Structure 1
Amino acid sequence: MTSTDRTGSTDTADDRDGGAAGAQRVSCTIRDGVADVRLERPDKRNALDPAMFTALARTGERLHADPSVRAVVLSGAGRSFCAGLDVAAFGEMATGEHDLPGTDERADGLHGPATALGQRAAHVWTRLPVPVIAALHGHAYGGGLQIALGADVRLAAPDTRLSVMEIDWGLVPDMTGTQVLPELVGRDVAKELTFTGRIVEAEEAGRLGLVTRVVDEPVAEALRLAADVASRNPDAIREAKRLLDLAGRVGLEEGFAAEQTAIRRLIGSPNQAEAVRAKLDGRAPTFTDPS
């Protein structure tokens, strides 16, 4: 695999977004096919404001368009992954001054059924064709939890606390959470968490399926896992994610047919042949990124 090291950031906090001019909300570094994406509002525990919503959606869009990206790690700078919506927004709701993040009018088809900007900030990670690994620590509350639910894998530090906290503010999850959460933890558990907003510690979250694993150093482990994924046939990884995302959402006939289409596409392809040769030779493979 070719080694690349590129650093970029999404800077969307301007007067239109409601943030301080020039403030960076999300950083993104790409190295050896792994995109290291970080929420960058540590003084606010990465609380969500219009600028953060926009930065998350735009960063995901940019990664979707980059064929060199083979895996993504999503984490938060500072003390928490993301503590949810900025508290200032809730104060505005009490006075009737706050409105929801607007709809992104760009009809690029990337975001599928997610039309509201808040939904896109979470759903864009699901829509990426490559695996997304969320590294959680501190707080993952409300909208922060919903962003994490957009990842394929969630690794949580032992100090992580998670909550479907919208009910505490008289609200419901509106960033895709009501549709995604039941699939992970079951409908009854999803209802209990949503009705009560109770805080779930990392160990329980692992038992419930809210997180994949509890690890001491989630960012380091996520980067290690992403590097492993990035070393595999990128065509097979993309097909695997697509097929697994179909499971339970389409009938078996369609799912089985999709498997056969994928395997026929892979067998004998340049990257699959390289995987076989490298395995037989006992060497690291050199794959070509999708065009």
Structure 2
Amino acid sequence: MITLTTAKQVAYVTLANESKRNALNFEMFKQLDGVIKQIKKQRDLRAVILQAQGPDFCTGLDVKSVISKPTDVCKLLFKPLPGNQNLAQRVVLGWQSLSIPVIALLQGRCWGGGMQIALGADIRIASEDASLAIMESRWGLCPDMGASLVLPGILSADNYLQLAMSAEPVTAQQALNLGLVSYVDNDLQHRAAHIIDTFSGRSPDAISAIKRLTQSAYRQPHRRLLAKETFSQIKLLMCKNTRIAIKNASRKDDSFDEYQPRRRW
């Protein structure tokens, strides 16, 4: 469901679960983690293209698939130490750990877990029909895939709160205005190729150094924040309000108004 190919010193990582609109199941998390490790070993690569088959980049977590197997939830959230990255966080922050630029090509829906994976990329290019959403609160959950580390360098606090609390999608143009994406372009591959051509004319050591320095400047101290993300999500998973939210979000009418939390945070 995740494929890795290389051509002309570029790695192409493709989400290929089109029948499920590229919704993320546990196997896809494992495969993404493995692909990132593979790319790290290939020293001759100059860039990564993160893309998806079909009309949607990723519609988020396949909630029913993952929650139906409690052991998978535990495997996603488990970490030997609180400040370490768990599997769910590695598929976002793993792109940041690469010394080469990562470019995400986003079409259609880019929601929830898919949005967080895209946030791990260095550059995001969205097609005009793209729809982007930080969707976790719809299910009574909070973003817990490491996005809290990268978002302060992308969005202002008020814009992030609005997106995360409302779980409402924004258009590609709105995302561009917010700084959530770098470009809006219907020819995603052409735009990405142009960017890679520009970078290829620069020293790979300089590109790597610039990426590391930028991360140091924009990223918060990560171990405490990663621990808080995971702790908050575990707490929410045990909360009655979360069960209510999941039930309501699963209804065919997809109405947010029916969710009446017992307590406001």
1:204: how far off?
A: 0.3
Q: Check if 1:144 corresponds to 2:114.
A: yes
- Give, in whole Å, the separation in 2 of the partners of 1:106 and 1:99: 15
Aligned to 2:43: 67
- Tell me if structure 1 keeps the 8 A contact 2:152–2:218: no
Runs of 5+ consecutive residues of structure 2 not aligned to the other structure: 221-265
Matched, 1:51 2:27: yes
Q: Does 1:99 align with 2:105?
A: no
Could you tell me which residue of structure 1 aligns to residue 244 of structure 2?
none
The number of residues matched between the two structures is 220
Alignment of 1:120-269 (within 5 A): 120-249=90-219
Query: Contact 1:34–1:227 (CA<8 Å) still a contact in 2?
Result: no
In the TM superposition, what whole-angstrom CA distance separates every residue of 1:245-290 from its partner, at most 9, and x where no partner exists? 222448xxxxxxxxxxxxxxxxxxxxxxxxxxxxxxxxxxxxxxxx
Q: Which amino acid aligns with 2:49?
A: V
Give the secondary-structure state (helix, strand or coil) at the position aligned to 2:28: helix
Amino acid corresponding to residue 83 of structure 1 in structure 2: T
Distance 2:49 2:90 in 1: 18
Aligned pair in 2 of structure 1 residues 190, 233: CA closer, same or farther (>3 Å)? Answer: same
Large movers: runs of 4+ above 3 Å:
89-93, 100-107
Aligned AA for 2:172? Answer: A
Q: Distance in 1 between matches of 2:27 and 2:190?
A: 27
Match of 1:81 among 40, 49, 57: 57
Contact 1:73 1:223 in 2 (8 A): no
Q: Tell me the CA shift for residue 103 of structure 1.
A: 5.7
In structure 2, C-alpha distance between the alignment counterparts of 1:103 and 1:97, rounded to whole Å? 10
Change in 2 beyond 3 A, CA 1:76/1:198: same
Tell me the percent identity. Answer: 37
CA 1:187 to 1:149, structure 2 compared with 1: closer, same or farther past 3 Å?
A: same
Write the letter of the residue equivalent to 1:43.
S
The root-mean-square deviation of aligned C-alpha atoms, in Å, is: 2.5
Counterpart contact for 1:125–1:132, Cα < 8 Å: yes
Q: Distance in 2 between matches of 1:68 and 1:242?
A: 18
Please give the alpha-carbon distance, in whole angstroms, between the structure 1 residues aligned to 2:52 and 2:147.
19
TM-score scaled by length of structure 1:
0.70
8 Å contact 2:103–2:125 — kept in the other structure? yes
1:28 corresponds to 2:4: yes
Instruction: State the Cα distance separating 1:91 from its structure 2 match.
Output: 6.4
When residues 163 and 105 of structure 1 are mapped into structure 2, their CA distance, relative to the original with a 3 A threshold, is closer
Secondary structure (helix, strand or coil) at the match of 2:100 reads: coil
Displacement, 1:233?
1.6
Q: CA deviation at 1:219?
A: 2.8
Residue 97 to residue 120, structure 1, CA distance change in 2 (3 Å): closer
In structure 2, the CA distance between the partners of 1:248 and 1:65, relative to structure 1 (3 Å rule), is: same
Pair 1:148–1:86, CA change in 2 (3 A): same
Matched residue SS, 2:35: helix
What SS does the corresponding residue of 2:142 show, helix, strand or coil? coil
* 1:217 alignment partner AA: D
Higher RCO, Cα 8 Å, sep 6+: 2
